[in-house]
Chains A and B, each alone.
Chain A
Amino acid sequence: MAIDTSVSEFEYPGEEDVGTPAKPPPVWRRSAWLQPNVLWAIAGGVIGYLIGHWLGNVIASGYQQVQSSGQNNVAIVLGLSLGVAGWLAGIGALTYPLAKILGYEPSPSPPQQSWVRYFRMTEDHKVVGWQYAIGVLTFLFTGGLLAMLIRTELLSPTTHVFGPGTYIFLVSEHGTVMMMMATSAVVGPLGNWLVPLMIGSRRMAYPRVESFSFWIFMAGYLVILSAFFFGGFPTGWTGYAPLQTQANGGMDSYLVGFGVIGLGMILAGFNLAATIINYRAPGMNWGRVPIFVWGILATTALLTLATPTLVVAGLFGILDRTAETAFYVNEHGGSNFLWQNLFWFFGHPEVYIMALPGFGIVMEIMPVFTRKPLFAYKVAAAGMLGVALLSFFVWQHHLFQSGINPDMRPLFMLTTELISIPTGFLFLVTLGTLWKAKIRFDTPMLFCLGMLFNFLIGGVTGVFLSDVPVNVTVHGSFFVMAHFHYTIMGGLIFAMFAGFYFWFPKITGKTLNRKLSKWHFWTFFVFFNCTFFPLFLVGILGMPRRVFEYASNLQTLNDISSISAYFLGASFFFFIINVVWSIYLNPHPAPDNPWNSLGLEWQTPTPVPWYDFEHIPVVLNDPYHYGEADAPPVADLGKVLSAVGAPAGSVSHEDLGTGVEGDGDPRPPIL
């Protein structure tokens, strides 16, 4: 029985019966600027903050702690919390649920196609992907600027640019901004943009939640930046108690900011998981799901299961600082170990929230540029799920030096070393794909290879760090700092750029300048290693993290690192100039499939229409049969495809084994 994949079943917005002229909507609904948008969000945020701050002063001005310290944490926390609520109200995130609660049926409207849609809530997953891209790059450049300031301070052991308090705040703000950015660096822009296209869906499972998760993510960014106005915070990104409990008002920004971004991460995780599980096109069984989607799915498990711990831990910290509870205060019956355990129960899976999508990108891209099938696809999927599972059992290796029961050390050393096995699976899959391949060294592939090189160094040093004796020796030193920069920046950020360069033609419809792309890669790769490799040596020689003074014999290595860091920062200009040049100044249209990829997302027109697929595709095979002369088609798109498709309606349910009638997506497009 053939499947009807015609478009007629769907009622696209704007194609409704137009026999009766509709009454024009009121002015406030016609003007995009009078509807909820980012300007209203800013206004709502400011008003919310002022109300919350006033309320906090009314509530807590009589507290002894407030009188003595000159710092009212209640006012700051309430101000920031209501500020976030005001931001969300201004952007329109509360309009739909409030209307439903009050008994109104919100009237649907077709998605706007003007540029205004990028500054408001939207239900188009591609627009949300764009918004995330801008948001993530904003995070990245903010954190990068702070990194430049840190390296400037470390140019000399005795001549200081900043005071010790400002320095530790810069380190803390840099770490917090970067880690929060990194949780969404791939999942946000590429996950939201690509997952529906890769699985043959027209939408995310919960489009309003998708948009909500982005806008609350940006609110969290502003909250974390607000620490500048409250004296900063001295704890590093880890926020350890008891320092957390006694810190300046900037600590409130950290705790509220983490909570707010955590909520966004949880919602984004649920949404992506629901989309991948429920919205796959007919025929896309688990053996045909693109490996990048497997990576996102494994990540969603971490986002949804680990992040709630962070949110709760932050809430406890807020209560300690405002309501004078004692969750983390030893003298009053609490325990500062509680924070460490709760934080790292989130914090270590978070490392894999960053790493897994990166590996997903690399394994997705490599077959395209090697023209070989992905080596050991099932092992790759199993490896990612294995890493996700094991990541919940390793958190106490961060506490080796904190005074945990020594008998617990061998267990967590073992579990930490065990995780290198599924990680090794992923590495071997990439190496197997490279084996005897004729590699095309285009920019995305170069970034993939760079990621493998860096992650190998970061991974091997991680194995050493998991051993208690080494950990005890180099704990809290620049060795640890260099290790995680190799895994996160050398791994995730390289993979993120690989993804950006690979999917850029599809996402923007424009072609990037090849020379500028390669200049970006080579300067980025060389200066990344020149910046961070000396820090392994500095760490072994005993330089501690987060301290702005160091021994004078370490100056040469620090100066090499600092000067390289300036060039590393400058290398981003190649990327920015390239993007601005290619999109805005001198645009060249990109072909539909410039890399000759078999991925489903590449079989759509460029630019991709807002409804993604004219016909819901019927998936026939996995997208990795490169270099096979008699390779079966990947999907039936309802039209004859140039290279990979099959004639419309030529596939039966018996072929697919789905038993599903229709196109598999019984829901109408989201309005």
Chain B
Amino acid sequence: MSLSILLCLPVLLALVATQLPERYVGRGAALLSLIPLGIAIDYLARFNPGNSGLQFVTDKLWISSLGIHYKLAISGLNIALVVLTAILFTISLAWSSQRQIDRPKLYYFHFGLAQSAVLGAFMAQDLVLFVGFFDLMLIPFYFLVGSWGTGDRVRATVKMVIYTAVGSFLMLAAAIATGVLASGQHSTALTFTFTALQHLGLSRTDQDWMFLAFAAAFLVKMPLAPFHGWLADAYKSMPIPAVAVFSGVVSKVAAYGFIAIVLPIFPQASHHYQTLMLVIALFSILWATAMAFTTKDARLVIAYSSVAQMGFIMLGIFSLKSTGDQGALLQMLNHGIVTAASFFIVAAVAARADGSENLDDMGGIAFRAPVLASFFLIVTFANLAMPGSSNFIGEFMILLGVFSTQMWIAIVATLGVVGAAVYALRLFITAMHNRVGGRVKSFEVRRIEVIAIVPLLALILVLGFYPQFGLNKSQDSVKAAIAPAAFGGCQNDFPGRTVLSCVAYDPSKTPTSK
């Protein structure tokens, strides 16, 4: 079975669903999305963790004159994310299907398109293809916010599109430049596949420019502070199922881009900018934490907590240690699950507070909804990365990785861990405990909420007992991905890799090697 099927199915199935009578579109889309989920799980089962390279490769020369390949593959880096994407989309569709949606046919079509784009971005093994999918992701979300959003959605879309577009141009330019420069410097045919580019090292200066362009696109998409200006409005306006997948997987595409593209293709630049990236990540953690415990909006608490979590993931990636990067990959999976569950719970809580997501309107909901309170509590503990949750193992490994490269950054970053306890618990308490809020009508969790929350909760619990599950598949791939960057690009451990500027490159003169 080819990966193209997995790639195209979501959008095709969404088209099939739109042919159903309007009342059944949602349920049809949700049920049909089980097919790509099944296929993704099948790939997971057949995945061979002992192989650090690409598996299930589909490779066709697409535009031969430009050397662009249509190349998809699964590796230890993206397998968990592909499965996560399938899971979160199925759950979001299930949540939507239980609700009245305006113009359902278009809505579900956009969801299908979004899922295909995200899967494509994760599986693409060609730079141009990746950029294409990366940009394609924006289109369905643009419509989802613009047409089905709430509040000041015009402002939100404008901001989101402009921010991401600026990043995307830079990345597109850099992607093309990388292919052209690499083939030029090594006098080979034009190529954009990751594997080929890994073997065609760029000169130091070129790497630096390319690195910065890619980093700009990814930092905006994740987002990390101070590139997060679009986040609050966009997250606030998006419909809940859209924000769950956006925060759950779309933001992970950017983090995945760093680990799968930037580190292997621009290893020396990654090494060179390591400290800068760590500092941005650290700044993001502290900033977002401070924001999360000040904001009065329940949804924004989760939104900022994801900025902080993306900061941790970034720390892990740029620790350039296998411990840290493994932790980062695990944390991407954990965070995807937990943040989606959190958004659904915020929606459930808001439904009991007269539709308001303002913390001042909430309170005492646990009183008549003990089951919902227990769900919320478990998600809260996972969100603050309490030991015993898989999130803790992710953070533990990330911090350990950073600790062994830049001890002080790890120590300062733990402030984010303490801060997370404050804002996560504050959110739980103000919503569920204390006196019953003025507009609160508390009632027990309902089927339409259970359908989304319980599967995610089950995943949180299973991963809590067995976080190793999230680590097993990726060990060798992670080592291979970070090896060149970890050694500053000078260690020639890729057979066939030509290193251009290692002679001029003196580790003792870079700021990161002290």
Chain B associates with chain A:
no
Chain B residues with a Cβ under 8 A of chain A: none
